[in-house]
């Protein structure tokens, strides 16, 4: 028999994590690793901002509708097959649905400030399965790794529609083999990208990728001069900055040495007693 998320159990869990017995005083709930199949009895926890529900057997997101202040929802390693029942979660900022049973991304546009979405290790495959991402224009962090996405050209088209995207994970998808010069292509296609597949996008890599996208290998050769010049200029600026700091420190020291000691007359040093 599956475990039940009863009111008494939730209160005991709050006590275990040194939280409050009164539901409305809690801002987070730890409900992970219990084998729950249904989210229930959370109607009184209206002030909660973070819920940990990972490693259960949950199949539906129903049961969160009254938690309107929820900002972080952690649901990896469950049995969720559809994204639904999020209409009231207007404050949701981060959603982790990795290691579930999703075949399509949907109903995320109802969370207008969603900036982080993790749907790695699901069953996303077709072009249509990720089209809904075009409506999630505030996404900054997106993890699509370890899915079955096959159309690399369409994937790039979807990603280009996300103007705020800065961190992206795509490794483990078959379509990456179809994208020529994968890393250069993705970086040059997404001007705001700062992190790709566990590796930062440094400024020099950005210059090389943009040059390659414009002029191919010839562009990379020309970009080497730009990178080397930038490195030398940065080194010069750093040296100049250190030199100015050293001169400033010497000047301050000389000023402190040249400052005359304060002079006191005998009366100030040995004041007469009041009569």
List the CATH number of the domain containing 195.
3.80.10.10
Confirm whether 119 is domain-assigned.
yes
> Nearest 10 degrees: CA dihedral of 64, 167, 142, 191?
120
Q: Choose one of 185, 202, 219: the last residue of a domain.
A: 202
Q: What letters, b where the CB count within 10 A reaches 16 and e where it falls short, cover 108-137?
A: bebbeebbbbbbbbbebbeeebbbbbeebe
Q: Could you tell me if 198 and 211 lie in one domain?
A: no
53 and 159 fall within a common domain: yes
Residues 127 and 22 in one domain: yes
Residue 96 near residue 123 (C-beta atoms within 8 A): no
Domain limits at 231?
Answer: 203-255
Residues 6+ apart with CB under 8 A from 161: 133, 134, 137
Domain presence at residue 270: no
Tens of pLDDT along the chain (275 residues)? Answer: 457 899 999 999 999 999 999 999 999 999 999 999 999 999 999 999 999 999 999 999 999 999 999 999 999 999 999 999 999 999 999 999 999 999 999 999 999 999 999 999 999 999 899 999 999 999 999 999 999 999 999 999 999 999 999 999 999 999 999 898 999 999 999 999 999 998 999 999 998 898 888 877 776 777 677 767 666 666 667 767 787 888 788 888 888 776 665 555 555 555 555 54
pTM to 2 decimals? Answer: 0.82
Residues 132 and 18 in one domain: yes
149 and 223 assigned to the same domain: no
Q: Do 214 and 235 fall into the same domain? A: yes
Among 172, 202, 232, give the residue marking a domain's end.
Answer: 202
pLDDT at 162: 96
Are residue 215 and residue 114 in the same domain, yes or no? no
């Amino acid at each position: 028999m599956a475990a039940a998320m009863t009111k008494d159990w939730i209160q005991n869990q709050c006590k275990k994590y040194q939280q409050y017995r009164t539901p409305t005083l809690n801002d987070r709930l730890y409900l992970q690793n219990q084998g729950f199949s249904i989210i229930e009895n959370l109607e009184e926890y209206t002030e909660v901002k973070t819920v940990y529900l990972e490693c259960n057997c949950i199949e539906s997101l129903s049961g969160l509708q009254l938690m309107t202040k929820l900002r972080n929802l952690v649901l990896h390693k469950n049995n969720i097959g559809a994204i639904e029942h999020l209409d009231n979660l207007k404050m949701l900022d981060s959603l982790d649905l990795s290691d579930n049973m999703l075949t399509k991304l949907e109903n995320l546009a109802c969370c207008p400030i969603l900036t982080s979405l993790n749907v790695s290790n699901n069953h996303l495959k077709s072009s249509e399965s990720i089209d809904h991402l075009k409506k999630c224009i505030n996404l900054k962090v997106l993890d699509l790794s370890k899915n079955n996405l096959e159309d690399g050209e369409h994937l790039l088209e979807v990603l280009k529609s996300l103007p705020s995207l800065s961190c992206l994970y795509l490794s483990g998808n078959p379509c990456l083999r179809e994208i020529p010069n994968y890393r250069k292509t993705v970086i040059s296609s997404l001007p705001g990208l700062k992190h790709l597949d566990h590796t930062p996008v440094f400024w020099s890599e950005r210059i090389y990728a943009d040059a390659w996208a414009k002029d191919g290998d010839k562009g990379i050769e020309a970009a080497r001069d730009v990178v080397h010049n930038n490195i030398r200029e940065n080194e010069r600026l750093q040296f100049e900055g250190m030199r100015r700091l050293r001169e400033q420190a010497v000047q301050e020291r000389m000023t402190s040495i040249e400052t005359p000691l304060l002079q006191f007359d005998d009366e100030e040093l040995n004041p007469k007693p009041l009569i």
